[in-house]
Amino acid sequence: MLGPLDSGTMGTVLVVASDRHRLHAPLAEIESSGFQAPFEHPGRADAIHAALAADDRFEFAAPDDAGLAPIEAVHDPGLVAFLERAWQDYNRAHPGTHDVVPDVFRMDALRDGLGGFVEPVSIDAELGRWCFETTTPITEGTYAAARAAVDIASTATDRVLGGAGVAYALCRPPGHHAPHGLYGGYCFFNNAAVAAHRAAATGSRVTVLDVDYHHGNGTQQIFYRRADVQYVSLHGDPVRAYPYVTGFADETGAGPGQRTNRNLPLAAGTDDAIYLGELERACEAIAGFGPDLLVVSLGLDTYRSDPICDLAVTTEGFARQGELVAALGLPTVVVQEGGYDLATLGENTKRFLLGLAS
């Protein structure tokens, strides 16, 4: 369980970060039926880092090596082992490939009526076994970058468990789309789920509040049947927004996790006033659950000029979001997810964090 909040670092927000995220640098992503320059690229985390480093209200720490255990606590070890070797295996079969992307998906469905699933043997088929879409290339450094992101989330969680009131995990690649046994949606390992499970394993009740534009299907799936971790998400309505098949309001948890899942789908064009009203509803649901610790999946892609989303949140709106979350009065680990408007990403992140620390 948690001790009293540490007041020794009042006035500063702890940022856990590493430049190892730059090891994941795809050349292109296949999106909207074409090859595009990646929206999810190293410049995102660098822009956030630069904005926070220029402000003395933030202090930085490097991550500790958390090892594989935190990842395998929330993911299929087969997925972890696959991601460690996938780029090398693919390049043995197809030398000179920079971005590795599946050609096929769910080939097991072709065996309907043939007597069950057959584990794929070729690397080409294995990609389709573990990946669910095309925007998430594996590059030579992807596994190392994804491991570093987990180390960052783990270290930030440890700091909050140790008494820091707020810690920000500058994770990249992001994580909330990765369920137990798949990668996709720019996500390899679910950093927020790692943080939540790590805190829950100490006996804490934990809520994951996901304010990214996209529904965190991976986080929802990992905790859907658990009573000790609540998942609450505001996101673009899946009738129009990625990932399309999860995030509906009637997904409320199952088994021991009944009523521990809350989805608040939002209409296109949702502005600060509507968004903050929905966030108040989310906070009421969190207060009803009564967590000891909060993990925030922070996406800044609800911003009004985000290039791949359609909400209308402003920079001031992010500050107000942080203040509303602060009013819960909970030790909080903030885990970076999406946000693709490079010009405002650093400032918007900063304003959320300062609102939270206010």
Active-site residues: which are they? 177
When binding is defined by CB under 5 A, the residue of 213, 231, 340, 352 that contacts Zn ion is 213
Choose the binding region for Zn ion from 136-144, 201-209, 296-304, 347-355 (rule: CB under 5 A). Answer: 296-304
Q: Is 67 left (phi over 0), alpha (psi -120 to 50) or beta?
A: left
Q: Which residue is nearest to Zn ion (CB)?
A: 338
Give the closest residue to 157 by CA, choosing from 189, 109, 191: 191
- Contact between 216 and Zn ion (CB under 5 A)? no
**Cα–Cα nearest to 185, from 323, 15, 49, 299:** 299
Q: Tell me, residue by residue from 300 to 319, as one string, x for binding to Zn ion by CB under 5 A and - for no binding.
A: -x------------------
Angle between helices 272-289 and 315-326 (to 10 degrees): 20
Kind of pairing between the strands at 34-36 and 29-31: antiparallel
Contact call for residues 6 and 163 (beta carbons, < 8 A):
yes
151 interacts with Zn ion by CB under 5 A = no
Residue 29 makes contact with Zn ion by CB under 5 A: no
38 touches Zn ion by CB under 5 A = no
| Residue 177 in the binding site for Zn ion (CB under 5 A) | no
- In order, the DSSP letters of 144-184 are HHHHHHHHHHHHHHHHHHTT-SEEEE--SS--TT--TT-BB
Q: Is 299 in the site for Zn ion (CB under 5 A)?
A: yes
Is residue 346 part of the contact set for Zn ion (CB under 5 A)? no
Binding to Zn ion by residue 212, rule CB under 5 A? yes
* Distance, CA of 298 to CA of 336 (rounded, Å): 5
Stretch that binds Zn ion, among 1-9, 149-157, 194-202, 295-303 (CB under 5 A): 295-303
Give the range of 6-14, 65-73, 260-268, 292-300 binding Zn ion by CB under 5 A. Answer: 292-300
User: Candidates 26-34, 62-70, 195-203, 213-221 — which segment interacts with Zn ion by CB under 5 A?
Assistant: 213-221
Q: Which is nearer to Zn ion, 238 or 299 (CB)?
A: 299
Q: Is 214 in the site for Zn ion (CB under 5 A)?
A: yes
Q: Are 305 and 344 in contact (CB under 8 A)?
A: yes
Among residues 236 and 257, whose Cβ is nearest to Zn ion? 236
What 8-state DSSP symbol labels residue 74?
T
**Using the rule CB under 5 A, is 173 a contact of Zn ion?**
no
Closest distance of CB 219 from Zn ion, Å: 12
User: At closest approach, how far in Å is the CB of 84 from Zn ion?
Assistant: 26
SS (H, E, C) 294-336: EEEEECCCCECCCCCCCCEECHHHHHHHHHHHHCCCCCEEEEE
User: How many positions of this chain bind Zn ion (CB under 5 A)?
Assistant: 6
Residues that bind Zn ion (CB under 5 A): 212-214, 299, 301, 338
